[in-house]
Structure 1
């Protein structure tokens, strides 16, 4: 269950990161509220997962999932330029996250 919660928390990290960018310094209410809710849920999930998973592994997986989804979302929406190198690096990052799960 901890791994499932950790993956969801990592995905929510991407949600709050995108919402933070779209809040324009907390001047737009809807993205600001999405940011706060996703941030609380993401941190809560990370904290829950850390009760049974090693802190370093849980944090690395959480950050890896959040970072890769945030960059992928940016490339898909056109907010960030896409390139083969970026795609390969994201694939490598996801591979490392999977490796951490398999090594646990």
Structure 2
């Protein structure tokens, strides 16, 4: 269950990153509210997952999901560049996440 909670925490990180971008420097109300609520939820779920997943593993996976998710949302929704080098970087992050999960004892 902790892994599912950690995954949802990572998804909330993607949501807050996207809504922060859309908030235009916290000058728009609803994207700003979504950012704050998603941030709080993401950190709360991360804390819950850390009850049974080691700190280094949980934090690495949480930030990795956020980074790769934000990368994908940037390409799919915001029209950001999808160069081969950026895809390679994302693939390396995912590889690291898989290795981190495989090496976890929880």
TM interval, shorter chain, is: over 0.9
Give the deviation of 1:14 after TM superposition: 0.9
Tell me the equivalent position of 2:51: 51
Count of residue correspondences: 104
Looking at structure 2, the residues matched to 3 and 70 of structure 1 have their Cα atoms a distance apart, in angstroms, of 20
Give the deviation of 1:96 after TM superposition: 1.0
Looking at structure 1, the residues matched to 81 and 37 of structure 2 have their Cα atoms a distance apart, in angstroms, of 28
Tell me the equivalent position of 2:6: 6
Tell me the equivalent position of 1:81: 81
Segments of 4+ moved more than 6 angstroms: none
Give the deviation of 1:91 after TM superposition: 1.5
Looking at structure 2, the residues matched to 2 and 78 of structure 1 have their Cα atoms a distance apart, in angstroms, of 31
Looking at structure 1, the residues matched to 2 and 14 of structure 2 have their Cα atoms a distance apart, in angstroms, of 19
Deviations 1:33-54 (A, max 9, x none): 1101111110011000111111
Q: TM-score, normalised by structure 2?
A: 0.92
Give the deviation of 1:85 after TM superposition: 1.4
Structure 2: which 5+ residue stretches go unaligned? none
Looking at structure 2, the residues matched to 86 and 98 of structure 1 have their Cα atoms a distance apart, in angstroms, of 19
Q: TM-score, normalised by structure 1?
A: 0.94
Residue 28 of structure 2 is aligned to residue 40 of structure 1: no
